[in-house]
């Protein structure tokens, strides 16, 4: 049987907010979609079976981490990342550019060679070029591949951001050439340009000329305010192609997601649900709860009495408080799953509200609450 080609269709719109369907050879993804982050071939403290039960339809892996440990050859030997981690969901892999900036002992950026850096694990020297990033991602056999870009640290230096954006465009062309013809997979371009309107639009227009299967907004979630992030999305929302998915990388809080959906974004990823889950922070429709707080020692109600999924409503705040105060692993597992489940409930509700034309009311009710 022939493998299904990558495709995307918009299904409904409510002003800029839109629902859509991404089709991949490993399954369909309803958008707006949230992708749990499985950086090192695992969504921390969760099994893939439970992740699927939350309604998640795609997860994210990371080139930087997987090329360092366990190494792409080890994953290739068993047939790719899906088989390695027993995951039949579609997988998007980030190119590694952000982690090179944020984690590694970076030696230098070379226009031709790429990023030359030492591993944050053992100090081993690596050279990550656009071609190598694509080679690794194709070796992982991911369904959505990201171009190699340079993600500069947060700065308001226009010339520095412009130079970085131009380098990312050069690497985008090389990434596209290295990717070749792969109709069953998708290659996404990454829009850079910091907080500057002209650079963001120049980056987008240049990427559209190269022609990608989707467009990501990069260089955000690096310390800017929410209003600054929304302003960048406002700059480009009228220029983005309607027939391609739009992905806001590394974002974010439920409030961030609501505001970005209002500006036409289709895809999100963030470590927040699982990282918060491991530290005792729960997301709920009534706001955030720090389950370590002593007031929950006498609260025998669940985090969400209406959540029947995964039996999460069977565990009281009293019990969860005990698990965290005794450093029991089960606490991290339950709260991570609760948070991912909440995020997927949020996305499902967003899609429903867009479809029936009531997204603005929903946005206004929850934007400052979540």
Residues forming the active site: 94, 269
Q: Are 160 and 192 in contact (CB under 8 A)?
A: no
State the Cα–Cα distance between residues 76 and 141, nearest whole angstrom.
8
What tokens appear for 356 in the block?
Answer: 């029936």
How many C-beta atoms surround the C-beta of residue 112 within 10 A? 7
Question: What is the spatial distance between Cα 249 and Cα 100, in angstroms, rounded to a whole number?
Answer: 15
3-state secondary structure of 141: coil
Tokens encoding 64:
């930087």
Q: Give the whole-angstrom CA distance, residue 111 versus residue 191.
A: 18
The burial class, CB within 10 Å (0-12 / 13-18 / 19+), for 227 is: exposed
Residue 123 Ramachandran class (φ > 0 left, ψ -120 to 50 alpha, else beta): left
Asked if 346 and 254 count as a contact pair (C-beta separation under 8 A), the reply is yes
Q: How far, in Å, are 18, 68, 69, 81 from residue 75 at the CA level?
A: 36, 12, 10, 6
Q: How far apart are CA 129 and CA 114, in angstroms?
A: 4
DSSP states of 152-169 = PPS---HHHHHHHHHHHH
The two three-digit tokens of residue 275, written as one number: 């990282």
Q: In whole angstroms, what separates CA 329 from the centre of its chain?
A: 25
Element at 246 (helix H, strand E): strand 246-248
8 A C-beta contact, residue 296 and residue 321: yes
Compute how many other C-beta atoms are within 10 angstroms of the C-beta atom of residue 127.
Answer: 12
């Amino acid at each position: 049987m022939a493998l299904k080609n990558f495709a995307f269709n918009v299904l409904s719109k409510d002003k800029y907010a839109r629902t859509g369907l991404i089709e991949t050879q490993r399954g369909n993804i309803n958008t707006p979609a949230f992708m749990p982050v499985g950086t090192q071939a695992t969504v921390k403290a969760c099994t893939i079976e439970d992740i699927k039960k939350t309604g998640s339809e795609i997860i994210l892996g990371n080139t930087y981490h997987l090329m360092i440990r366990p190494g792409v050859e080890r994953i290739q030997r068993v047939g790719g990342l899906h088989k390695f981690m027993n995951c039949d969901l579609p997988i998007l892999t980030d190119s590694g550019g952000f982690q090179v900036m944020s984690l590694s002992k970076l030696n230098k950026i070379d226009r031709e060679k790429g990023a030359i850096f030492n591993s944050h694990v053992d100090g081993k020297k690596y050279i990550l070029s656009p071609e190598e990033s694509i080679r690794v991602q194709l070796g992982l056999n991911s369904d959505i591949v990201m171009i190699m870009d340079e993600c500069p640290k947060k700065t308001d230096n226009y010339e520095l951001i412009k130079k970085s954006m131009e380098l990312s465009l050069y690497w985008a062309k090389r990434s596209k050439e290295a990717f070749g013809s792969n109709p069953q997979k998708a290659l996404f371009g990454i829009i850079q340009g910091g907080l500057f309107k002209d650079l963001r639009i120049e980056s987008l227009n240049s990427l559209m000329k190269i022609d990608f299967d989707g467009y990501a907004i990069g260089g955000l979630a690096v310390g800017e305010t929410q209003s600054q992030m929304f302003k960048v999305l406002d700059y480009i929302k009228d220029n983005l192609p309607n027939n391609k998915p739009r992905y806001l990388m590394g974002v974010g809080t439920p409030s961030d997601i609501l505001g970005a959906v209002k500006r036409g974004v289709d895809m999100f990823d963030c470590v927040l649900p699982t990282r918060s889950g491991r530290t005792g922070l729960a997301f709920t429709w009534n706001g955030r709860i720090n389950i370590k707080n002593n007031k929950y020692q006498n609260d025998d109600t669940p985090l969400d009495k209406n959540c029947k999924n995964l039996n999460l409503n069977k565990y009281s705040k009293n019990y969860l408080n005990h698990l965290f105060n005794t450093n029991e692993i089960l606490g991290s597992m339950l709260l991570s799953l609760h948070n991912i489940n909440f995020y997927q409930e949020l996305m499902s509700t967003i899609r429903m509200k867009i479809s029936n034309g009531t997204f603005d009311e929903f946005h206004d009710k929850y934007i400052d609450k979540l």
